Amino acid sequence: ILFDLDGTLVNTLTELADALNDSLRPLLGSNSLAHPLVQSWIGNGAATLFKLALRHCGISEDSIPAEFQNRWPDFQSAYAKRCGTNSTLYPGVINCLNALQHAGYRMAVVTNKEAYFAEKVIHNKGMKDYFELVVAGDSLPCKKPDPQVLWTTLEQLGVARSQALFIGDSIIDIET
């Protein structure tokens, strides 16, 4: 069983929004990025999330690459401090993982979140012993919705496609 991470197992919205607001304070001033807006950006990894926030802050398309290079380390630092600290597991996640593990199912996480952040959330939320493999947004040359991410994960696990289930929460997961 392959699981998406953000929005499927754990709600990371608050810590992502806080990290964006922390790192973009010079552009935002006294304003903050609202949670529903940040929620609409989640799903393609932190780098894409950050670029969408830069656009929202009024950075022109031509300036996005330079602004990203300049400000990305600030976001990485802010998110590294918050990652896994203010997120919450969805109700029943641990009970579900326990039941699946005890029933003999092999499990992995397939996420577009960067590996460092994904591993940190999984560890901080007490889920690391459930997953045999974590395939993150920077683990392969492609990421979801490219189905090759799932095929490669299944190959690494030695599991046939017909014997796998992928559980996610977003249009990206459906397209994958």
Of 62, 89, 81, 75, nearest to 28 by C-alpha is 75
* pLDDT computed for residue 43 by the predictor: 82
Q: Which residues of 106-127 are buried (b: 16+ CB within 10 A; e: fewer)?
A: bbbbbbbbbeebbbbbbeebeb
* pLDDT computed for residue 27 by the predictor: 92
* pLDDT computed for residue 5 by the predictor: 96
Q: Is the pLDDT of residue 13 over 90?
A: yes
* pLDDT computed for residue 142 by the predictor: 96
The percent of residues in the chain predicted with pLDDT above 90, rounded, is 93
Q: Is the pLDDT of residue 167 over 90?
A: yes
The percent of residues in the chain predicted with pLDDT above 70, rounded, is 100
Q: Is the pLDDT of residue 44 over 90?
A: no
Strands (DSSP E) found in 65-150: 88-89, 108-110, 133-135
* pLDDT computed for residue 157 by the predictor: 97
Q: Of the listed 4, 6, 18, 173, which one is catalytic?
A: 4
Task: State mean pLDDT over 14-23.
Answer: 95
- 46 vs 155, residue with greater confidence: 155
Q: Is the pLDDT of residue 153 over 90?
A: yes
Task: State mean pLDDT over 30-47.
Answer: 91
Of 125, 127, 156, nearest to 139 by C-alpha is 156
Mean pLDDT rounded to a whole number for the chain:
95
d(CA 74, CA 150): 31
- 62 given a catalytic annotation: no
Classify the C-alpha dihedral 8-11-15-21 as positive or negative: positive
Task: State mean pLDDT over 105-126.
Answer: 95
Lowest mean pLDDT among 34-38, 40-44, 69-73, 98-102: 40-44
Q: Is the pLDDT of residue 45 over 90?
A: no
Task: State mean pLDDT over 139-157.
Answer: 97
